[in-house]
A and B are shown apart, each in its own frame.
Chain A
């Protein structure tokens, strides 16, 4: 596609539920990043994929968060047992290589009620 695509745009879920957020990167981009952004803050790093493998998952806040990229393209961020503190905008970005310019999708606004 022309840009990074994220679905859904908005997700409202109840506390304790499981959610999946999807990211479709720019075609040909091997690097994929997940960030989350709270109001008034800059994006906070969660995880970085180079190809199919998670090269750096140091930003995942706890073991309720998990991400996969099984074929080196689409990625899914999975959050188990959601908590109200997980409410944020989850952003995905991709780049050709890990150390070049990264482009963001429109984000998924997650609200846990």
Chain B
């Protein structure tokens, strides 16, 4: 079992819809979580971080964390074609600062 699991997709949504991306993790020692966006041929770009249970909003993005259920999600409101990319979920433990990445979910936003 991979430490961080994501559905590879593609997740296809129409422009203006809410895109919901999910991630589960196996290590209960994970404390910090990050969402990165990666366009094809480019490097990962940090879009959200979340450290405590609940929701964290930043513009059109909302990250949600549930440590009891060991899942993290990212909601993208009013999706735009420019949001089409692969979204990587990463976890980090306080005891080891390495980021553990999932394989990513490919999001396609249809005009």
**Chain A, interface residues (CB within 8 Å), range:** 20 to 34
B97 in contact with A99 (CB, 8 Å)? yes
A72 to B102, CA, bound (A): 29
Complex Cα–Cα for A102 and B44 (A): 10
By the criterion CB–CB under 8 Å, are B103 and A42 in contact? yes
**When the two chains form their complex, are residues A56 and B97 in contact, meaning their CB atoms are under 8 A apart?**
yes
Are A101 and B97 in contact, CB atoms less than 8 angstroms apart?
no
**CB proximity to B under 8 Å, residues A94-113:** 98-99, 101-107
Which B residues are CB-close (under 8 A) to A107? 43
The docked-state distance in angstroms from the alpha carbon of A105 to that of B101 is 16
- Give bound CA distance, A92 to B1, whole Å: 26
B107 at the interface (CB under 8 A from A): no
- Contact partner of B101 among A42, A48, A55, A98, CB < 8 A? A42
Given contacts A99-B32, A99-B94, contact A104 B99 (CB under 8 A): no
Interface size range of chain B in the complex: 20 to 34
Nearest opposing residue in chain B for A55, CB measure: B97
Tell me the A69-113 residues at the B interface (CB within 8 Å).
89, 91, 93, 98-99, 101-107
Report the minimal beta-carbon distance from B23 to chain A, rounded to whole angstroms.
11
Of residues 23 through 64 on chain B, the ones whose CB sits less than 8 Å from some CB of chain A are 31-32, 34, 36, 42-46, 49
Contact status B100-A45, CB under 8 Å: yes
A101 to B34, CA, bound (A): 8
